[in-house]
């Protein structure tokens, strides 16, 4: 391109520039459509469209329709929102953003999931442009609502760069209205995870956690930690996962959630064993069992499973006597009504000779 669209834009009158931004966001140069998005009379819009035609922004097609020049539309949708100086944004820009965001919210909120995802894919560039303009000149809460709706189908839009742009909008919202952005960051993390983008998912969850720690309730923190922990484990970040599990255990303890606390301690125990810190793992298994014994009603199947895990850890340390005792304890807990596959696995563990390896969890032999 031998000229700069930015330079050409700077020569436009303020009202023509506003009409231009509206045509890019709405995707139409029809005065009858633009009048709904602009605080201008139809004749005034027509006059400004004439200026756009004279300055090379629009072109008449063979069928008589007037459209934006393709290169100009690309610049407007992708670059102009950030290039336009803040002082050139007018009250109309907020009106344009509000109308277009309302339109997007209505489309994102209706229809089945596949139809909404297909519509979002088609309109993804204009959606991002509207969100970014809305952040600069409109209502942050409205931008948040649209971004949240888009996030629900983001993993179905086959455009990684677009998803990254949507996440960037979420980060901007978090800077403007952090207390209201936690749910969006969580939703963006979920969308990234569904797209197998674990790095982005981790970053979104971590950002949400940082905000929730200052503004959110403990239930929100617990949900975020529960989402983050599998991501950390999947990325091999055992130390950070252990820290997150400890934080989650503290939350459950403060809330008096004994069963959830026992589950978290058992997971910590399993992680410690997997990391070679077997004695520490046994300590966590013991703590989990003590909590489970005090529950009413008792969760016998879970209690037996933790006893089995403790037995396996003891066996790995060479303490086969205590390990076998833990297996027998688990078998006694299940009695005659427990899951038959679990009972058979435990019977095999009890029969394992001192010098033999234990059957792997979830396997039985005939």
Domains (range + CATH), the chain? 1-88 (1.10.10.10), 90-236 (1.25.40.10), 252-366 (1.25.40.10)
- Give the pTM: 0.77
> Would you state the pLDDT for residue 106?
85
C-beta separation of 187 from 152 below 8 A: yes
| pLDDT tens figures, 218-244 | 889 999 999 999 999 999 999 999 999
Structure tokens of 228? 């983050």
- How confident is the model over 95-137, as pLDDT tens digits? 878 887 888 888 888 778 888 888 888 888 888 888 988 888 8
User: How many C-beta neighbours within 10 Å does residue 90 have?
Assistant: 17
Structure tokens at 206: 């971590």
The answer to whether 302 touches 292, Cβ cutoff 8 Å, is: yes
pLDDT tens, position by position, 298-318: 899 999 999 999 999 999 999
Helices 14-26 and 124-137, packing angle to 10 deg: 140
> How open is the CA angle 257-262-267, to the nearest 5 degrees?
125
């Amino acid at each position: 391109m031998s000229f700069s669209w930015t330079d050409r834009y700077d020569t436009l009158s303020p009202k023509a520039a506003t009409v231009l931004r509206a045509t890019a966001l709405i995707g139409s140069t029809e005065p009858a459509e633009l009048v709904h998005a602009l605080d201008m009379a139809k004749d005034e819009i027509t006059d400004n469209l004439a200026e756009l035609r004279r300055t090379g922004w629009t072109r008449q097609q063979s069928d008589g329709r007037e459209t934006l020049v393709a290169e100009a539309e690309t610049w407007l949708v992708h670059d102009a929102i950030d290039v336009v100086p803040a002082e050139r944004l007018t009250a109309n820009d907020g009106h344009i953003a509000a109308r277009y965001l309302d339109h997007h919210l209505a489309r994102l909120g209706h229809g089945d999931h596949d139809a909404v995802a297909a519509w979002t894919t088609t309109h993804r560039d204009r959606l991002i442009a509207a969100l970014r303009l809305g952040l600069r000149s409109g209502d942050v809460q409205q931008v948040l609502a649209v971004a949240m709706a888009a996030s629900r189908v983001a993993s179905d839009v086959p455009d990684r760069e677009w998803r990254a742009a949507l996440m960037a909008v979420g980060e901007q919202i978090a800077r403007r209205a952090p207390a209201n952005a936690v749910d969006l960051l969580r939703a963006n993390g979920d969308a990234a995870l569904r797209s197998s983008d674990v790095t982005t998912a981790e970053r979104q969850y971590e950002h949400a956690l940082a905000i929730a720690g200052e503004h959110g309730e403990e239930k929100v923190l617990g949900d975020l930690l529960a989402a983050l922990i599998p991501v950390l484990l999947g990325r091999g970040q055992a130390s950070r996962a252990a820290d997150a599990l400890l934080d989650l255990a503290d939350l459950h303890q403060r809330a008096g959630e004994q069963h959830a606390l026992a589950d978290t301690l058992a997971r910590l125990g399993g992680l410690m064993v997997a990391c070679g810190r077997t004695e520490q793992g046994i300590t966590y298994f013991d703590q989990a069992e003590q909590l489970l014994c005090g529950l009413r009603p008792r969760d016998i199947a879970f209690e037996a499973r933790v006893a089995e895990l403790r037995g396996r850890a003891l066996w790995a340390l060479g303490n086969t006597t205590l390990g076998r005792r833990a297996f027998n304890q688990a078998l006694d807990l299940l009695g005659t009504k427990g899951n038959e596959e679990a009972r058979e696995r435990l019977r095999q563990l009890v029969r394992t000779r001192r010098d033999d390896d234990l059957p792997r969890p979830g396997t039985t032999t005939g």
